Amino acid sequence: METAGSRIAALYAGDLGFAQIDKLRAERTGYPEVVYCAGKTIEQALNIITKMREDGAPVFATRANEELAEKLAVRFRETEYDALGRTLSIGEFCPEEKRTGLVVIATAGTSDLCAATEAARTAEFFGSRIKLIADIGVAGIHRLFSRLEDIRAARVVVACAGMEGALAGVLAGLVAVPVIALPTSVGYGASFGGVSALLGMLTSCAPGISVVNIDNGFCAGYQANLINQAGKIGE
Amino acid sequence: METAGSRIAALYAGDLGFAQIDKLRAERTGYPEVVYCAGKTIEQALNIITKMREDGAPVFATRANEELAEKLAVRFRETEYDALGRTLSIGEFCPEEKRTGLVVIATAGTSDLCAATEAARTAEFFGSRIKLIADIGVAGIHRLFSRLEDIRAARVVVACAGMEGALAGVLAGLVAVPVIALPTSVGYGASFGGVSALLGMLTSCAPGISVVNIDNGFCAGYQANLINQAGKIGE
Amino acid sequence: METAGSRIAALYAGDLGFAQIDKLRAERTGYPEVVYCAGKTIEQALNIITKMREDGAPVFATRANEELAEKLAVRFRETEYDALGRTLSIGEFCPEEKRTGLVVIATAGTSDLCAATEAARTAEFFGSRIKLIADIGVAGIHRLFSRLEDIRAARVVVACAGMEGALAGVLAGLVAVPVIALPTSVGYGASFGGVSALLGMLTSCAPGISVVNIDNGFCAGYQANLINQAGKIGE
Amino acid sequence: METAGSRIAALYAGDLGFAQIDKLRAERTGYPEVVYCAGKTIEQALNIITKMREDGAPVFATRANEELAEKLAVRFRETEYDALGRTLSIGEFCPEEKRTGLVVIATAGTSDLCAATEAARTAEFFGSRIKLIADIGVAGIHRLFSRLEDIRAARVVVACAGMEGALAGVLAGLVAVPVIALPTSVGYGASFGGVSALLGMLTSCAPGISVVNIDNGFCAGYQANLINQAGKIGE
Amino acid sequence: METAGSRIAALYAGDLGFAQIDKLRAERTGYPEVVYCAGKTIEQALNIITKMREDGAPVFATRANEELAEKLAVRFRETEYDALGRTLSIGEFCPEEKRTGLVVIATAGTSDLCAATEAARTAEFFGSRIKLIADIGVAGIHRLFSRLEDIRAARVVVACAGMEGALAGVLAGLVAVPVIALPTSVGYGASFGGVSALLGMLTSCAPGISVVNIDNGFCAGYQANLINQAGKIGE
Amino acid sequence: METAGSRIAALYAGDLGFAQIDKLRAERTGYPEVVYCAGKTIEQALNIITKMREDGAPVFATRANEELAEKLAVRFRETEYDALGRTLSIGEFCPEEKRTGLVVIATAGTSDLCAATEAARTAEFFGSRIKLIADIGVAGIHRLFSRLEDIRAARVVVACAGMEGALAGVLAGLVAVPVIALPTSVGYGASFGGVSALLGMLTSCAPGISVVNIDNGFCAGYQANLINQAGKIGE
Amino acid sequence: METAGSRIAALYAGDLGFAQIDKLRAERTGYPEVVYCAGKTIEQALNIITKMREDGAPVFATRANEELAEKLAVRFRETEYDALGRTLSIGEFCPEEKRTGLVVIATAGTSDLCAATEAARTAEFFGSRIKLIADIGVAGIHRLFSRLEDIRAARVVVACAGMEGALAGVLAGLVAVPVIALPTSVGYGASFGGVSALLGMLTSCAPGISVVNIDNGFCAGYQANLINQAGKIGE
Amino acid sequence: METAGSRIAALYAGDLGFAQIDKLRAERTGYPEVVYCAGKTIEQALNIITKMREDGAPVFATRANEELAEKLAVRFRETEYDALGRTLSIGEFCPEEKRTGLVVIATAGTSDLCAATEAARTAEFFGSRIKLIADIGVAGIHRLFSRLEDIRAARVVVACAGMEGALAGVLAGLVAVPVIALPTSVGYGASFGGVSALLGMLTSCAPGISVVNIDNGFCAGYQANLINQAGKIGE
């Protein structure tokens, strides 16, 4: 098997020694590889991104800090950096005018905006229109109701909340589309860095929710976009 | 200190060898001792309750099984047993006509009724009027709104829910009185026997909630009654 | 607010005392309410389902045992029961010929079939075509590759696995559609009743995964169907 | 439902883009919204508080740092900041002469004073008289007895303790009023940042205790005041 | 090293194939080996105990069930079995008249008596006089004070409690001798099978406490006896 | 890729619908597939094993119960069942006379013998000679020293222990070969079903230890045999 | 009760507002109160210690930092500070020549010396002779055997270890006196800040061990001294 | 026993007061002692290493920082320091030309290189040839297949991964040699500092895996080398 398998696979990877760029990922999954910058040195991230960009691919990176963004901006004028969401893009995968389908990203509080913004930038980059609605947590549930028409316009809803994470369950009972629950590490004490929100979202009695890792705005935005695009694929 | 302390204390306790009945508890706290039957043999529970009843005290017992209830009913005609809440009373601490102040006990689902009933029977025994409203969990939030007027008539609300426990937070944002959150072990998987509900209730962003142990309907009902009666004490 | 809110809400609910049937759920979310039978007595479940069926609604119930199924079959000839998935339906929400879009449900092992079957029955009931592919866990990864063409025909993939739950991540790297990860309690020791699978799925480095509660095949199937239908809604 | 609901709700919220001020909260619950400053930037907190204050509302904020307090003091002379409890108020909700009913806040040790002070400032702001009694933990139980008369004058007791949190249970056995247990993160090793105190308080065998999140002095003080005021509401 | 070490060690062990009896344990530590029956078949336990008894050693066994006790009683008339503590002895290590030094074993509730009795039988077997004082938990603290003179007569105190386990800390603040804390699995919900009691005892702010495993009455009684005898050894 | 990959893979698998037999596993890894019976119905296990045996493969199954063993013995005379280790074999992968290299399996106590026996039967089946040494836990360390010569004759040592699991670390400091640590669920209370043993083995300060899942005797025995055979492979 | 109780208790406490000095603790328990400096400001600690010293009491403080020590040294010449154990004393409770009975404090590694030194200073202050034996962990068990004669001279042994904490169990099998197990936070990964050592010590199969909180050298030393002195008290 | 045991043991240890160098470790286990620098002061580490080196032993140290490396380089010219793996060696235990048998160390991502490098340096020092293959995680499984021939050349494989840790299970299904799974703390949220990877590796359904502590590259490399050398020992 290795003969057949490895011959094919050799085509896929761009080997940098410390990293293997997954060049054919777009072919396999429809989307290019994304660079996760946490745990990489600035130099490693610079090298990976430069190599990808030189190969002509549009680049999207998460957990990028300002130092990296500044260094890349020198090399590539089209670098765009979102400090709140810590995302970075160079070039476009899907130009704004071609983005279709609305993803609504709702947050329970102001402090959830970091994760929510990462989700928003990700969904946009991969081709969705997005609308971010902040601070409509269930403690003042009328705030949520006042935005319900906006929310119901979405094909997918991302519910972003820390503490008890109840926003996801309440929203899922009010909309007809999938809800992606994005727990955040907002809170203290028995919030356990987002675990309580995660558990609340996993165990919600409302159907129509699936959950991503704590603070993983990228994954929420990516999945929301996949769902948003689902109508066009596989048939 | 032991001389003074122990002389006084000697008055308080009714020593059965394996149990010390706290006879003067009513004097100290305003309420008689309650018998927790779990972990006691039928014989131990029978002896304790018989002794208390023979001393003329009204008896309230929790986690009582049917066998115990039947044996007590033979001895004491006035025995009342609630199989759903597993509570048992012999005699009245506060006759129905003297009960004042409404405690509303709301449940997220039908399966939460065991714990909710334990809370209801407890609050009643100690002097509250109670109203139990079942199955108004947040996944279908209009069910909750349809009962809001009933709920707002309460001096204290007990919010009883398993799974993600979001009912407590939503209710606390809609009422002007204290909410006692009663997590239940309803659910499976990441519900962890009620831990997710407990954590969700503890970390709710809505103020005005305090929480009792998982499935501890007795404690919720007892505290709700204390709060309900708070206006009459201490001034 | 309660005046307006409660007047409207009064229309929604079918109050059985111990349960509130969410009659207008289909209007709000596009789908009828589902009966979760665990934690309900046979009598409660019978009453709820009978009431719903008498109102003309198609019924879908989960965690139903055989005793309930037999009693319902006496009343309603069209009762269908799946003993492996513990699901039960009476009447059709979406006839087989109208089901569109393929949901593939893949399991890592034979023991994951309970949860996977619950997912399959759910997705079918609500309108998806489904294909269940069993026992293609990553320990023998060629088994997965041999079914890749089948899997890539799906609009949504449900990856159902216990133990380390790695199937979800490997699949998500090979398909272009959303993967719903369904952890199961299969395994022992450090599997902790499905927690290890759950954590592995949440932390997978492959994008395109979102996760439901341990053994919650219903939620996985429901969400998969929502995604499958996403192309038709909200525009 | 959204038509009716959202029209009403639109009245409630003051939309700042990143935050929705809950202006009608006082109407719904009897108390104005409180600003939780953790996780917000200084600018966000400044904007929210300034907007609320300009609308004429008395402001109460928790987890406020000195930098925020200083900036607000420049804008609003009546700013009061408690560095130990990290609370901040601008204007009065309930003037000192109108505060009624005593809340006693007892701490097990000196290190518990941060959380206890947050509770004290909160209860005061919303209308309670308070008395803070420090360092009467159960390791030297005579210290507790020496203050028992003071404690018994309260309508509600807040028991604030880290480590094993036993103060709540001992107090609840000695008073006739509700005890709000406030676990703190004081301690190390198996204290697990307050988890041991939290668990001890939740599982106390003394009835009459309900518990708030670790270090959540605000919630303890808020609930204590609600209980203190319970006699005046709802009848 | 194995030559020297193994030659000596060969003397120590009585090899039964599936078990190695530690015959020289008394020589090394002053006390004979104890048989822990849980996880052993009746046959294994019978064989081990019979072999030990035939070698003339006094036998003490824990977690023994009635079936084993009855079979041993047939072989050895001097078999004594305590059904509550599940301990069994054959022959005496220290006759009653030679027992010196008082160990007090105090329990918080009636349900803690199983573990407490195991501790009592163990301490007695190895040479201590014991006094068991039941049901003096801190929720009714006067019960504890009424027995303080009895408790202060001890050389060592075993504090046996489930739920929040506060008895150990309160006692340690009132006596001048070591307290061995014995957490029990009494309780439910957030008691987590004794974990809350264990944590409370480990983190108590009172010095003079050390803790044994949950429900490990044997270990508590053994350690209490060692401490009780400490005055006679090692000088 | 699927074309090449799936064509090859098609050769590998024996599809039973509910299970895919990994027929070419021996080719890939040198060893045939093993049947894990837990979570499979008797019928499923029977079908899988019968299919494998009919294809001529030697069968090894774990977690097999007696009912399965009896049914298989009827079909295949050469069925061998070990009730203690719950393993079952039909046919030989490596006849006894060809087994080389000694694996020593040491247990801390008698109760660890279930897991240890599973390890022993596994290592034997795949080609190792084994020696099982029971009940040499560190509480009586001379018992371990008395067997040190036997232990040092091994190429690999499996250290099987519950409770604190210290046997692995002590052994690893005394031998020159790899130690496979096999934690067991023996113990109660803070043993947490083997978690304490697992953690102790993972964090041992002695180098030369690697760990398998709790009670996973199969995995320990399989790995021990792989290491034992390592000298013959890959060069 | 408060009348009698509080009158007596009033004698006990030295009220500093933020702290209650337990002046009669020596009378109740035989030992003066100890100051735990963590979580107190330098000023609070200074005030408490100065007040105690001015009342003539010998002072012992734990978790003291150098700044506090220097400030106290200015006021009280007899201040002694141990930077490794972070203990501080002013004046003597028990002069060196009156210390009797040997406490051996053994550590598994060099990194355990902080906790071990805290234990040593504590036991000394309260009247024990101590011997500290470092770095004799079980990975090289001959190091332990080479010090066995020293260890067996003790009346009590403190076994101080991080990681898997096996030292306690091995020692307890080799000595005839109580072992106090002191888990430390030494280690990483699955050591979980000392939890693995704590669990290993609690679940050790060797009798004669009791355990204190992670890194709680004070508690270990205090208990060891109590045990050491046990021969003199209570008869 | 202590006489014989301690006489022999006295030969083994080099006593530095705060540390006991295990000089005869090489004799007992075939390999010299390794210095673990974390938790030791620079001075302690310097003294231990200098003493060992002066005795002529080759030194290998882990978790060494640059300051230590620089100070040692002044004393010993042959000091070699690997900043990524934080390992340090002085002198050779096994010269490069004598190293035999290939250990492949594969990582899931770039961020896993710290732990992987520690493993590589360790295995090399003790006598193995090594090959490090980075960034072949299962999210892009073709990258793994493209290196399969390289991987299959190994006698032992170390699979190094954070997040869900699935690399170990997939590799074990593809190779015929033991896999040592090395979980890393790479990841966030529900990765819990490496716990999810650890659990995933422990519960993998692929046989032939054993696991070391999180980030413990040393232990993985040491065990891999032991296995690699297994063919030469014990027969």
- Touching F (3+ Cβ pairs <8 A), the chains are A, C, E, G, H
Q: Average pLDDT, stretch A27-43?
A: 87
Angle of the C113-125 helix axis to the C217-229 helix axis, nearest 10: 40
Strand bridging mode F156-161 / B156-161: unpaired
Q: Where are the alpha helices (DSSP H) in chain E?
A: 2-12, 25-29, 42-54, 66-75, 113-125, 141-145, 148-152, 167-172, 195-202, 217-228
Classified as helix, coil or strand, D142 is helix
For residue F33, the cross-strand partners are none
ipTM: 0.91
With touching defined as 3+ CB pairs under 8 A, do chains E and H touch? Answer: yes
The per-residue pLDDT for range C40-98, each reduced to its tens digit, is 999 999 999 999 998 888 999 999 999 999 999 999 999 999 999 999 999 999 999 99
CA dist C112 → C152, C160, D68, E150 (Å) = 21, 7, 54, 59
The rounded mean pLDDT for chain F is: 89
**Any idea which residue has 């790297």 for tokens?**
C173
- pLDDT recorded at residue B4: 36
Q: Which of G99, G226, G229, G235 should be substituted to probe chain E, the one whose Cβ sees the most E Cβ atoms within 10 Å?
A: G226
Q: Looking at the partner chain, which of A166, A203, A205 has a beta carbon nearest the beta carbon of B109?
A: A205
Q: How many CB pairs under 8 A join E and F?
A: 74
Q: Do D178 and B230 make contact, defined as CB atoms within 8 angstroms?
A: yes
Q: Which of G174, G227, G228 should be substituted to probe chain E, the one whose Cβ sees the most E Cβ atoms within 10 Å?
A: G227
Count the alpha carbons within 13 Å of G40 in the hemisphere toward its beta carbon: 25
In angstroms, what separates the C-alpha of G188 from chain H's closest C-alpha? 8
Tokens representing A168 are 């996801």
Q: Do H28 and E1 make contact, defined as CB atoms within 8 angstroms?
A: yes
Euclidean distance between the first and final Cα of chain D, in Å?
Answer: 31
Question: Which residues in chain C show pLDDT less than 70?
Answer: 1-14, 23-24, 231-235
Alpha-carbon distance E9 to G27, whole Å?
49
For residue B14, the cross-strand partners are B21
Helix, strand and coil content of chain D, in percent to the nearest 5, comes to 45, 20, 35
In angstroms, what separates the C-alpha of F30 from chain H's closest C-alpha? 6
**pLDDT at residue H7 above 50?**
no
- pLDDT recorded at residue C2: 36
- pLDDT recorded at residue E233: 46
Question: Which of residues 119 through 138 in chain G touch F, CB cutoff 8 A?
Answer: 137-138
Alpha-carbon distance F58 to F39, whole Å?
22
Got the DSSP string for chain C?
A: -HHHHHHHHHHHEEE-SS-EEETTHHHHHSS---EE-TTS-HHHHHHHHHHHHHTT--EEEES--HHHHHHHHHH-TTEEEETTTTEEEES-SS-GGG--SEEEEEESSGGGHHHHHHHHHHHHHTT-EEEEE----GGGHHHHHTTHHHHHT-SEEEEEE-TT-THHHHHHTT-SS-EEEEE-----GGGGGGHHHHHHHHT-SSSSEEE--TT-HHHHHHHHHHHHHGGGS--
Question: Which of residues 85 through 104 in chain F touch E, CB cutoff 8 A?
Answer: none
Give the DSSP H or E segment for D220.
Answer: helix D217-228
Q: Do F28 and H176 make contact, defined as CB atoms within 8 angstroms?
A: yes
The rounded mean pLDDT for chain H is: 89
Q: Is A33 on the interface with H (CB under 8 A)?
A: yes
- pLDDT recorded at residue E4: 36
| A234 or E116, which is more confident | E116
In angstroms, what separates the C-alpha of D11 from chain G's closest C-alpha? 46
- pLDDT recorded at residue G207: 93
- pLDDT recorded at residue F25: 73
- pLDDT recorded at residue D140: 87
Q: Is F9 on the interface with C (CB under 8 A)?
A: yes
- Minimal CA–CA distance to G208: which of G171, G163, G234, G233? G171
Tell me the pLDDT band of H24, cut-offs 50, 70 and 90.
Answer: low
**pLDDT at residue D234 above 50?**
no
Distance, CA of B144 to chain centre: 23
**pLDDT at residue G233 above 60?**
no
Alpha-carbon distance A34 to A218, whole Å?
10
Q: What angle do CA C39, C41, C45 make, to 5 degrees?
A: 95
Got the DSSP string for G27-46?
A: HHHSS---EE-TTS-HHHHH
Q: Looking at the partner chain, which of B9, B39, B44 has a beta carbon nearest the beta carbon of E145?
A: B9
Q: Average pLDDT, stretch A21-37?
A: 80
Count the alpha carbons within 13 Å of D40 in the hemisphere toward its beta carbon: 25
With touching defined as 3+ CB pairs under 8 A, do chains F and H touch? Answer: yes
- pLDDT recorded at residue H25: 74
- Minimal CA–CA distance to B181: which of B196, B164, B202? B202
In angstroms, what separates the C-alpha of B5 from chain E's closest C-alpha? 6
With touching defined as 3+ CB pairs under 8 A, do chains A and E touch? Answer: no
- pLDDT recorded at residue E24: 65
Question: Which residues in chain B show pLDDT less than 50?
Answer: 1-13, 233-235
| H9 or F97, which is more confident | F97
Q: Do D226 and B203 make contact, defined as CB atoms within 8 angstroms?
A: no
Q: Do G231 and E232 make contact, defined as CB atoms within 8 angstroms?
A: yes
Angle of the F113-125 helix axis to the F217-229 helix axis, nearest 10: 40
Q: Is C30 on the interface with A (CB under 8 A)?
A: yes
Q: Is E77 on the interface with H (CB under 8 A)?
A: no
Alpha-carbon distance G19 to G25, whole Å?
15
Q: Do D205 and E109 make contact, defined as CB atoms within 8 angstroms?
A: yes
Give the DSSP H or E segment for A103.
Answer: strand A102-107
Q: Do H4 and E8 make contact, defined as CB atoms within 8 angstroms?
A: yes
Alpha-carbon distance A29 to A32, whole Å?
8
Tell me the pLDDT band of F24, cut-offs 50, 70 and 90.
Answer: low
Alpha-carbon distance H182 to H221, whole Å?
9
- Quick check: F212 and F220 in contact, CB under 8 A? yes
The per-residue pLDDT for range H65-120, each reduced to its tens digit, is 999 999 999 999 999 999 999 999 999 999 999 999 999 999 999 999 999 999 99
Q: Do D13 and A142 make contact, defined as CB atoms within 8 angstroms?
A: yes
The rounded mean pLDDT for chain A is: 89
- Quick check: F34 and F62 in contact, CB under 8 A? yes
Classified as helix, coil or strand, A160 is strand
Q: Which of F110, F112, F141, F186 should be substituted to probe chain G, the one whose Cβ sees the most G Cβ atoms within 10 Å?
A: F141
CA dist E227 → A209, E148, F212, G124 (Å) = 58, 20, 39, 19
Look at the alpha carbons of F39, F42, F43, F44 in this order and tell me if their dihedral is positive or negative: positive
- Touching G (3+ Cβ pairs <8 A), the chains are B, D, E, F, H
Q: Average pLDDT, stretch H150-164?
A: 96
- pLDDT recorded at residue G221: 98
Q: What is the DSSP letter of A31?
A: S
- Minimal CA–CA distance to E55: which of E80, E82, E91? E91
Q: Average pLDDT, stretch E33-39?
A: 92
The per-residue pLDDT for range G84-113, each reduced to its tens digit, is 999 999 999 999 999 999 999 999 999 999
The per-residue pLDDT for range E89-142, each reduced to its tens digit, is 999 999 999 999 999 999 999 999 999 999 999 999 999 999 999 999 998 888
Nearest CA in chain E to H12: E1
Strands (E) in H97-228, as ranges, are: 102-107, 129-133, 156-161, 179-183, 209-211
In angstroms, what separates the C-alpha of D233 from chain C's closest C-alpha? 18
Give the CA dihedral F45, F50, F53, F54, nearest 10 degrees. -150
Q: How many CB pairs under 8 A join B and E?
A: 76
Tell me the pLDDT band of H12, cut-offs 50, 70 and 90.
Answer: very low
- Quick check: A12 and A24 in contact, CB under 8 A? yes
The per-residue pLDDT for range F133-174, each reduced to its tens digit, is 999 999 888 889 999 999 999 999 999 999 999 999 999 999
- Quick check: G105 and G160 in contact, CB under 8 A? yes
Q: Which of H2, H16, H160, H186 should be substituted to probe chain G, the one whose Cβ sees the most G Cβ atoms within 10 Å?
A: H2
Alpha-carbon distance C39 to B114, whole Å?
10
Alpha-carbon distance A167 to A209, whole Å?
11
- Touching E (3+ Cβ pairs <8 A), the chains are B, D, F, G, H
Other residues' Cβ atoms within 10 Å of the Cβ of residue C7: 12
The per-residue pLDDT for range H197-215, each reduced to its tens digit, is 999 999 998 999 999 999 9
Q: Is H151 on the interface with A (CB under 8 A)?
A: no
Alpha-carbon distance B13 to A12, whole Å?
80
Q: Do E110 and B9 make contact, defined as CB atoms within 8 angstroms?
A: no
From chain E, the residues in CB contact with G218 under 8 A are 207
Residue type, B139: A
Q: How many CB pairs under 8 A join G and H?
A: 74
Classified as helix, coil or strand, F94 is coil
Tokens representing E231 are 């005055």
Q: Do H111 and A214 make contact, defined as CB atoms within 8 angstroms?
A: no
Q: Where are the domains of chain H?
A: 12-90, 96-230
- pLDDT recorded at residue C70: 97
Look at the alpha carbons of B35, B38, B44, B47 in this order and tell me if their dihedral is positive or negative: positive
Tokens representing G205 are 């199969």
Q: How many CB pairs under 8 A join D and E?
A: 116
pTM of the full predicted structure? Answer: 0.93
The per-residue pLDDT for range G111-151, each reduced to its tens digit, is 999 999 999 999 999 999 999 999 999 988 888 999 999 99
- pLDDT recorded at residue E14: 63
Q: Do C22 and B140 make contact, defined as CB atoms within 8 angstroms?
A: yes
Percent of chain E past pLDDT 90, that is, above it, reads 78
The per-residue pLDDT for range B131-190, each reduced to its tens digit, is 999 999 998 888 899 999 999 999 999 999 999 999 999 999 999 999 999 999 999 999
- Quick check: B102 and B153 in contact, CB under 8 A? yes
Q: Do A210 and C176 make contact, defined as CB atoms within 8 angstroms?
A: no
Nearest CA in chain G to D152: G2
Q: Is G152 on the interface with H (CB under 8 A)?
A: yes
Give the CA dihedral B191, B192, B196, B198, nearest 10 degrees. 130
The per-residue pLDDT for range F42-96, each reduced to its tens digit, is 999 999 999 999 888 899 999 999 999 999 999 999 999 999 999 999 999 999 9
Alpha-carbon distance D14 to F96, whole Å?
81
Question: Which of residues 186 through 225 in chain G touch E, CB cutoff 8 A?
Answer: 198, 202-203, 205, 207-213, 218-220, 222-223
Say which CATH class E96-230 falls into.
Answer: alpha beta
Residue type, F101: G
In angstroms, what separates the C-alpha of D125 from chain G's closest C-alpha? 22
- pLDDT recorded at residue H14: 64
Q: Looking at the partner chain, which of F8, F22, F39 has a beta carbon nearest the beta carbon of C111?
A: F39
Q: Do C134 and F185 make contact, defined as CB atoms within 8 angstroms?
A: no
Q: Average pLDDT, stretch E154-168?
A: 96
